Amino acid sequence: MEYAENILGTIGNTPLVKINKLTEGIDALVLAKYETFNPGNSVKDRMAVKMIEDAEAAGLLKPGGTIIEGTSGNTGMGLALAAIVKGYRMVCVMADKQSKEKIDILRAVGSEVVVCPTNVAPDDPQSYYSTSKRLAEETPNSWYVNQYDNLSNTKAHYESTGPEIWRQTDGKVTHFVVGVGTGGTISGVGKYLKEQNPNVKVWGVDTYGSVFKKYHETGEFDENEIYPYVTEGIGEDILPKNVDFSIIDGFTKVTDKDAAIYTQRLAKEEGMFLGNSAGAAIKGLLQLKEHFKKDDVVVILFHDHGSRYVGKMFNDDWMRKMGYIE
Ligand code: PMP
């Protein structure tokens, strides 16, 4: 018989899938690391379990404890699945710009969800950063995950996602392109790939309204770069410890409109029904096309599933209301 001991045993070993149409002007082979095959439908299952296991080993998370995290949904989903299997209580703190589907899905897997306003500064007591920290302080036997600064996040990708990509491409990968939020994916995968072959180039996809690109290019944390944006999952108004700028060769920024349109195009032209950050990532990859030569193998990572965006990027009324389509 062949079976997993529990649902967590199905995390990882996701397929690589060739992108065939959305590669205009690119001769290189473009392969998508397709993370929606994880049980929580996103790459975040990997780091959620790793962060919990490291916290258990360090004695920070004890039996019967409560896990508290500020999350846009996918990390919460991974943590919630692990909490069920391992017997913890789960509390997710979210910003109100996140799709309603994400909130409903977290509640469906037994998480308590606290919703906070989006457009307040990170140090505002109402922000989801501040609220998660306060709840963690007030709740006995609780552990605050802090995916931004918890380096088990990067380690998960260094130990699993990176080696899988190296193995699946027979060591032929030349470029890695990925959206950056906490930075765990790009830093862990990028570090692993560069250790195998220092010539691998690592590109981050950022959004307008986020500090990453300017900081990487100038070393300056420019508050003028920070303003509200629509794209979900990538970009930040802080510098998370998980972003290792030293392994990133460059960033490209994608507009909210392009990210939304390319999210639709992936579904309609490739049959890839994916989340908003996948649209941003493929548009970012197209913006970088002059960097790719004929025999290159470019791997792009797609973080999450389209079902969480049916009320937004996959809803033409919403797309029209936002002015993204006629
Ligand atoms: N896309 C989506 C949909 C996400 O949830 C996240 C995580 N915030 C990212 C991209 C960025 O990944 P990372 O946090 O590893 O940089």
302 with 172, same domain?
Answer: yes
How is residue 86 written in tokens?
């391992």
CA distance 196 to 292: 20
Specify if 54 maps to a domain.
yes
- Predicted confidence at residue 72, as pLDDT, reads 67
Ligand 1 binding pocket includes 180 (Cβ within 6 Å): yes
Catalytic status, residue 44: yes
Ligand 1 binding pocket includes 41 (Cβ within 6 Å): no
232 with 87, same domain?
Answer: no
13 with 126, same domain?
Answer: no
38 with 176, same domain?
Answer: yes
Specify if 244 maps to a domain.
yes
105 with 244, same domain?
Answer: no
184 with 138, same domain?
Answer: no
Ligand 1 binding pocket includes 65 (Cβ within 6 Å): no
Specify if 326 maps to a domain.
no
231 with 254: CB under 8 angstroms?
Answer: yes
Helices and strands of the chain, counted as H and E runs: 11, 10
How far away, in angstroms, is 236 Cα from ligand 1 center? Answer: 11
Which are the contacts of 66, defined by CB distance < 8 A and separation ≥ 6?
A: 88, 89, 90, 91, 139, 141, 142, 143
Last residue of a domain, one of 144, 170, 194: 144
168 with 52, same domain?
Answer: no
Specify the CATH number for the domain of residue 88. 3.40.50.1100
How far away, in angstroms, is 180 Cα from ligand 1 center? Answer: 6
Specify if 177 maps to a domain.
yes
Tokens 């290159």: give the residue.
296
Ligand 1 binding pocket includes 179 (Cβ within 6 Å): yes
- Predicted confidence at residue 192, as pLDDT, reads 99
Q: Which of 44, 191, 201, 283 is catalytic?
A: 44
Specify if 250 maps to a domain.
yes
Specify if 171 maps to a domain.
yes
Percent share of the chain, pLDDT over 90: 91
- Tally the domains of the chain: 2
- Predicted confidence at residue 317, as pLDDT, reads 98
ipTM higher than threshold 0.90: yes
121 with 259, same domain?
Answer: no
Tokens 């998508």: give the residue.
32
Domain hosting 58: range is 45-144
26 with 160, same domain?
Answer: yes
Cross-strand pairs, 253: 206
219 with 70, same domain?
Answer: no
184 with 277, same domain?
Answer: yes
Whats the size of the chain, residue-wise?
326
58 with 202, same domain?
Answer: no
SS3 labels along 176-236: EEEECCCCHHHHHHHHHHHHHCCCCEEEEEEECCCCHHHHHHHCCCCHHHCCCCCCCCCCC
Report, as ranges of residue numbers, the positions in the chain whose pLDDT lies below 50: none
Specify if 265 maps to a domain.
yes
CA distance 156 to 175: 20
Residue closest via CA to ligand 1's atom 12 equals 181
Tokens 């802090």: give the residue.
146
Dihedral-angle region of residue 225 (phi above 0 means left; psi in -120 to 50 means alpha; beta otherwise): alpha
